[in-house]
């Protein structure tokens, strides 16, 4: 039998292990995260993604809420964080009547930090991020992976406290919808994804779509009731408003689709187009959206020159069509990443 260490020595040894092991674990996690940040989701497999989609969509009829238990675990949506992360802070599950999250709720209090495992993933609804940074983060025992977003107004604006959060070593990496920082080693974008209320229509269009030829040129279409709800859409060419099923069928057959910023630069149309194989033409800031999100999957143009979108529509200035990275809206790809 071994001899037990004196209590004081044991505690000293444990502290030493933590001081050595956590930086090593953080370095290992950061190395993996940075490597993943550089790669595209080429693991996308149409057959794998569609496995079960047709059956679940058919069983749901026209009731999107019956489809949610399947959809919210297979497609990236604005509420993906509740089903992707180990812990969550937010009220959207109750507000929208969503299926139970995968992770456990985390209260906004110092004592809650003790329940967070090292390198756990924590989703925080955008409106609660500042409170989370003030009440929970200072008491974390080890680094975490932070994911932020929201169904409504998902952007966390840059401020002094977000700068402090980025510098806090307890945040191993921060994935954010509507990213506001570029060139930060531990910060990156997270897709807004497919619209939660119409994900059933998206899935049915995905099942119907094939590998046939795509419509040439730049398609102009929308399905929202608010076509021009942002100054970054001023001066851009208009297209017809379509019913949801026709809108998704158009995306599934288009080569390029105009998808400008609205009240925020993350838009459903951008990610829905990518998920259905169309390349979005966007005026989102390339420095924010290209690395780790839309690189190679979108055509960017400067929002100060809306006439360039019209030139693309008329033809001759679009690049050759190449299928976008559909894995961007594939839930499993992000599960592996986060």
The domain tally of the chain equals 2
Residue 300 forms beta bridges with which residues? 282
> Which two three-digit tokens encode residue 78?
């604005």
- Is residue 57 one of the residues assigned to a domain? no
Q: Are the C-beta atoms of residues 252 and 318 closer than 8 Å to each other?
A: no
CB atoms within 10 A of CB 245: 16
On whether both 228 and 213 belong to a single domain, the answer is yes
On whether both 243 and 205 belong to a single domain, the answer is yes
First vs last C-alpha separation in the chain: 43
CATH number, position 208: 3.40.50
Domain boundary among 190, 218, 235: 190
On whether both 237 and 149 belong to a single domain, the answer is no
On whether both 99 and 152 belong to a single domain, the answer is yes
On whether both 201 and 183 belong to a single domain, the answer is no
The one-digit pLDDT tens for each residue of the chain (338 residues) are 333 333 343 433 333 333 333 443 443 344 434 443 444 444 445 666 676 888 898 899 999 999 999 999 999 999 999 999 999 999 999 999 999 998 899 999 999 999 999 999 999 999 999 999 999 999 999 999 999 999 988 889 999 999 999 999 999 999 999 999 999 999 999 999 999 999 999 999 998 887 789 999 999 988 875 544 566 677 788 888 899 999 999 999 999 999 998 878 889 999 999 999 999 999 999 999 988 899 999 999 998 888 888 899 888 789 999 999 988 998 888 887 88
Q: Are the C-beta atoms of residues 45 and 53 closer than 8 Å to each other?
A: no
State whether residue 74 is helix, strand or coil: coil
* CA 11/CA 17 separation, integer angstroms: 10
On whether both 210 and 323 belong to a single domain, the answer is yes
On whether both 147 and 217 belong to a single domain, the answer is no
Q: Which residue segment(s) compose the domain that 100 sits in? A: 77-190
Domain boundary among 190, 207, 239: 190
């Amino acid at each position: 039998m071994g001899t037990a260490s004196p209590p004081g020595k044991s505690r000293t040894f444990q502290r030493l292990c933590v001081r050595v092991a956590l930086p090593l674990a953080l370095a290992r996690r950061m190395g993996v995260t940075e490597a993943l940040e550089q790669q595209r989701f080429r693991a996308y497999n149409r057959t794998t993604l569609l496995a079960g989609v047709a059956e679940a969509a058919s069983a749901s009829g026209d009731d999107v809420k019956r489809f949610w238990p399947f959809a919210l675990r297979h497609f990236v949506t604005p509420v993906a964080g509740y089903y992707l992360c180990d812990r969550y802070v937010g009220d959207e599950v109750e507000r929208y009547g969503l299926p139970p999250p995968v992770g456990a709720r985390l209260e906004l209090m110092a004592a809650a930090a003790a329940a967070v495992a090292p390198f756990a993933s924590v989703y925080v609804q955008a409106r609660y991020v500042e409170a989370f940074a003030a009440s929970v983060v200072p008491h974390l025992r080890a680094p975490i992976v932070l994911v932020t977003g929201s169904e409504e107004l998902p952007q966390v604006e840059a401020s002094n406290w977000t700068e402090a959060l980025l510098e806090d070593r307890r945040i191993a990496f921060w994935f954010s919808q509507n990213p506001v920082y570029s060139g930060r080693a531990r910060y990156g974008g997270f897709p807004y994804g497919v619209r939660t209320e119409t994900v059933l229509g998206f899935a049915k269009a995905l099942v119907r779509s094939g590998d046939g030829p795509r419509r040439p040129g730049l398609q102009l279409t929308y399905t929202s009731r608010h076509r021009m709800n942002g100054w970054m859409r001023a001066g851009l060419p208009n297209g017809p408003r379509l019913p949801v099923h026709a809108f998704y069928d158009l995306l599934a057959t288009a080569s390029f689709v105009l998808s400008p910023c609205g009240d925020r630069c993350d838009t459903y149309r951008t990610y829905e187009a990518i998920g259905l194989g169309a390349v979005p033409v966007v005026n989102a800031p390339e420095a924010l959206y290209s690395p780790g999100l839309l690189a190679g999957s979108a055509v960017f143009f400067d929002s100060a020159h809306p006439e360039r979108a019209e030139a693309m529509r008329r033809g001759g200035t679009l690049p050759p069509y190449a299928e976008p990275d559909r894995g961007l809206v594939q839930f499993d790809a992000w599960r592996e990443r986060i």
